[in-house]
Structure 1
Amino acid sequence: MNADDESVRIEQPIIEDGVALHRLAAATKVLDVNSRYYYLMWCRDFAASSVVARRAGGPPEGSDDDVVGFVTGYRRPDEPTTLVVWQVAVAESARGQGLAGRMLDALFDQVAAQAPADHLETTITPDNEASIALFAGFAKRRDADVATSELFSGAQLSGADDGDHEPEIKHRIGPIATQRSAR
């Protein structure tokens, strides 16, 4: 599979994709995995601010096996021009081909086409070098600045049931032009 050709379609999720999102999140072994119910609800209520990468010519649409990646997001209620990216996942079979970056670009363009959007926010733990590089690459492609600050401390995120958790560092990218830079 080549993530840059027509073997992968990037589109809004449908409710039934929630099962695949749950499966992919668990398969990453790095994401905080939410319940299956959560992903089904997300695909219902936040489909307009999320994308899935689907194998073209694969199993029937909505099949658990045709989704090879996803990005979930939402508009911040108190800053509706800011897209918050919640989770990014790519199936092992599709990694290393730029699919996460393509999904991120497609998602921001999708959200900006619906209503004005000029910033993207996400949180990343300090040890997640791949995610830091993904979002830095997005900022570079969009010729936008990145500001970082701690959003949630490790102490806030750690608990008796959860164990220790790294702090979540907010990466705020923007302002973002709607047209990508040719860098």
Structure 2
Amino acid sequence: MKIRRPCAEDGARIWRLVESSGVLDCNSAYVYLLLCTHFSDTCAVAEEDGKLLGFVTGYRLPDKPDTWFVWQVGVGSAARGRGIGKRLLRAVLTRHDDLHAIEATVSPSNRASRALFGSLARELRAPLREAAGFASPLFPDSHEDEPVLRIGPFSEYLLRDRPGRALPADRPELRPRLS
């Protein structure tokens, strides 16, 4: 499996994966093209033998440039259970020494995403907090509330060791010592 930055050709592939998921909110194909080109440094795709297995899309928050907002994480049904979602998140984190937090909006019923972000927070040894986000009346259709999950702050030393900057789960000597 290879994880890399997306390119324009990945936009339609991501759109198809989202549409076929049955659980992710499907945005326009144009949005995925923009994310794969304008924001490729804060997105990633996982592929194997030329087949898209999963993706993560996101961007830096304009008013908090040290915070990465994760828009969507998607893994195809055939590839689930392999830890691909977390590997995609980590791949983007390792590209940026100056990120100190992650935010995402996650509905209360989305147990898979909540588990993913909880696991990443534990790995980063960073607090995971929930705050008000987008209330359901803000959406034009029936939609659950989307509270904000925030992981951080986390330390840059957790992302050191280039290339590939291993995180604590991979490199015990980089784990913080707890008193």
Shorter-chain TM-score tier: 0.7 to 0.9
Give 2:76's aligned amino acid: A
| Of 151, 156, 174, the match for 2:152 | 174
In 2, Cα distance between the equivalents of 1:50 and 1:81? 15
Show the counterpart of 1:39: 32
Q: TM-score, normalised by structure 2?
A: 0.86
Q: Partner of 1:166: helix, strand, or coil?
A: coil
Alignment partner of 1:109 is 2:109 = no
1:72-91 correspondence to structure 2 within 5 Å: 72-91=57-76
Q: Partner of 2:27: helix, strand, or coil?
A: coil
Show the counterpart of 2:12: 19
In 2, Cα distance between the equivalents of 1:43 and 1:71? 10
Deviation at 1:181, TM superposition (A): 3.0
List 4+ stretches of structure 1 deviating above 3 A: none
Alignment partner of 1:136 is 2:114 = no
Give 2:125's aligned amino acid: D
Show the counterpart of 1:122: 104
Unpaired segments ≥5 residues, structure 2? 159-166, 170-174
Deviation at 1:149, TM superposition (A): 1.0
Higher relative contact order (CA 8 A, sep 6+): 1
Contact conserved, 2:59 with 2:70, CA < 8 A, in 1? Answer: yes
In 2, Cα distance between the equivalents of 1:43 and 1:118? 23
Alignment partner of 1:99 is 2:77 = no
Deviation at 1:28, TM superposition (A): 1.4
In 1, Cα distance between the equivalents of 2:22 and 2:43? 21
Unpaired segments ≥5 residues, structure 1? 1-7, 60-65
1:57-91 Cα distance to aligned partner (Å, 9 max, x none): x23xxxxxx21100001000110000000000001
1:157-177 Cα distance to aligned partner (Å, 9 max, x none): 2x2xx2x11000100110112
Root-mean-square deviation (Å): 1.2
Alignment partner of 1:150 is 2:132 = yes
Contact conserved, 2:35 with 2:58, CA < 8 A, in 1? Answer: no
Alignment partner of 1:165 is 2:143 = yes
